[in-house]
Every structure is written in structure tokens, then in C-alpha cells.
């Protein structure tokens, strides 16, 4: 089937009822017209509340929510079916949903829960939505990563990430980087733009609103730049922050 060319850009951001995903929704809503932004939220009530709040600042942009739990295949498939029935395609998928801390008392349980959400969840969501993305004129696929997932930055004493030891979270993001690269290689010939984003250390619910974190809005800049770049020669296969490329 030929790609669908339409003035409306349809964007799905997982885990976007709060945190950096929500910051991306707000920025896109305020700056972009003819966008339809879909907030993926595990709790649909929270997703709908977030959509209602953002609608107040929207610039000719439509905001809605869909129930989407990235660790549930049933929820993922239901979201795919809903978006396909309403819009027949998806222009942008941003795998943003993630967790950093859990209450599990053993390393095995901690690793299992964090990787299930951050890595396996993002992979399963991507697999499910690739057919709808293929129908877009310029499909964009983004993954929320982190400097904590950089092997290079983890080993450099002068790196801002050197002093942190979040084994499960860092491992999950290093794995996300590999997943993103594999999709970049797989989907390049289909016209996809696949990239990974390091938002920097931001003060959000993910890290308990750590007082050393920067302005959450700053964490949305690079992601939104990539979301809105529909050029044929746009960035592809990168791991980058607002300041520039991030070492793998």
C-alpha cells in the first residue's frame, strides 16, 4: 500500500500523562498546528485528564488519550486496533514510557520489572505499530534513552553520569539503544527515521523529582525536534541530546 499523505500528523507518545512525555505533548500542542497527539497512558483516567489540561493551550492541535499498558499485549493490541480504525496510520511513535525505581526486594525481581517495562515493553509496542507507521508518508520512530545507558559515559570519570549506580535502569537503557539501532537498520529502506533521545537529568516523577534535576521542559526539546522533522534526509540512527550526539 502506498504511504498516506495527509496534512494532519498523528503522534503517539507512550507514558505521556506525566513526566517528560507530558512535556513533549505540551510543547507540540503549543507550537504545532494540524497535529493529532495521542497520549498513551496505562491509566486511561489520568491520560484523559492530561489531554484535557493540554487542550487548553493547544494551537489548532487535537489531543486525546488511549489506554496503553506497555507490559500488556492485550492493551497494546487494543490501542493498535483503535488507532487503525480511527486514522488508518501512525506518523510518529515515541516510546517514552519507563520506570527507574521499583519496590521489589531482590535484584532478579528489580531487573525483571524494569527491563519488562523499559526494554521489552518498548520493543513490543514498536512491533505492534510498525504496520501502521509503514502507511505514513515519513514514519518516525523514537526511543527515550538516557546518558545512563551509554557505555562510554559510564566509564569516564569526568562524565556527569559516572557517579551513579542504577544497574537495572542503566542496563535497560543500554538495551534500548541496541533495540533502536536494530530497528534503524531494519527500517531504513522503508523510509523510516529511527532515533534515540537522551533528555538529560531532569526533575520528574521518574527520579522522585530529584532536586539536582534540570527543568523538565528542557528534556522535551530534542524529542520534539525529531518528532516534527519530516524531511526525507532527516536524522536517522542517532543517539542525541539537545546539546548534540551522545556516545554509545
List active site positions. Answer: 169, 173
Determine which helix (DSSP H) or strand (DSSP E) holds 220, and give its type and residue range. Answer: none
Extract the C-alpha cell encoding 79: 490501542
What residues contact 83, with CB distance under 8 A and at least 6 apart?
10, 12, 38, 66, 90, 129, 132
Q: How far is CA 101 from the centre of its chain?
A: 18
* Burial annotation 164-194 (CB, 10 A radius, 16+ → b, else e): eebebbbbbbbbbbebbbebbeebeeeebbb
3-state secondary structure of 29: helix
8 Å CB contact between 99 and 113: yes
3-state secondary structure of 229: coil
What residues contact 68, with CB distance under 8 A and at least 6 apart?
14, 40, 41, 42, 75, 76, 79, 97, 125
Amino acid at each position: 500500500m502506498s504511504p498516506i499523505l495527509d496534512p494532519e500528523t498523528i503522534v503517539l507518545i507512550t507514558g505521556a500523562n506525566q513526566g517528560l512525555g507530558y512535556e513533549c505533548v505540551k510543547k507540540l500542542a503549543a507550537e504545532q498546528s494540524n497535529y493529532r497527539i495521542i497520549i498513551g497512558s496505562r491509566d486511561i483516567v489520568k491520560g484523559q485528564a492530561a489531554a484535557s489540561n493540554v487542550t487548553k493551550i493547544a494551537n489548532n492541535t487535537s489531543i486525546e488519550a488511549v489506554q496503553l499498558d506497555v507490559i500488556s499485549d492485550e492493551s497494546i493490541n487494543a490501542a493498535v486496533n483503535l488507532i487503525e480504525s480511527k486514522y488508518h496510520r501512525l506518523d510518529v511513535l515515541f516510546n517514552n514510557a519507563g520506570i527507574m525505581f521499583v519496590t521489589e526486594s531482590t535484584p532478579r525481581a528489580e531487573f525483571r520489572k524494569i527491563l519488562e517495562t523499559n526494554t521489552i515493553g518498548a520493543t513490543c509496542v514498536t512491533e505492534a505499530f510498525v504496520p501502521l507507521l509503514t502507511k505514513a508518508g515519513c514514519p518516525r520512530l523514537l526511543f527515550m534513552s538516557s546518558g545512563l545507558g551509554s557505555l562510554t559515559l559510564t566509564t569516564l570519570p569526568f562524565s556527569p553520569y559516572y557517579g551513579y549506580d542504577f544497574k537495572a535502569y542503566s542496563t535497560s537503557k543500554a538495551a534500548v539503544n541496541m533495540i533502536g539501532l536494530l530497528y534503524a537498520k531494519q527500517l531504513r529502506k522503508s523510509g523510516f527515521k529511527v532515533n534515540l533521545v537522551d533528555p538529560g537529568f531532569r526533575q520528574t516523577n521518574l527520579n522522585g523529582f530529584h532536586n539536582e534535576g534540570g527543568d523538565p521542559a528542557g528534556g522535551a526539546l530534542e524529542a520534539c525536534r525529531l518528532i516534527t522533522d519530516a524531511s526525507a534526509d532527516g536524522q536517522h540512527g542517532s543517539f542525541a541530546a539537545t546539546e548534540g550526539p551522545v556516545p554509545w
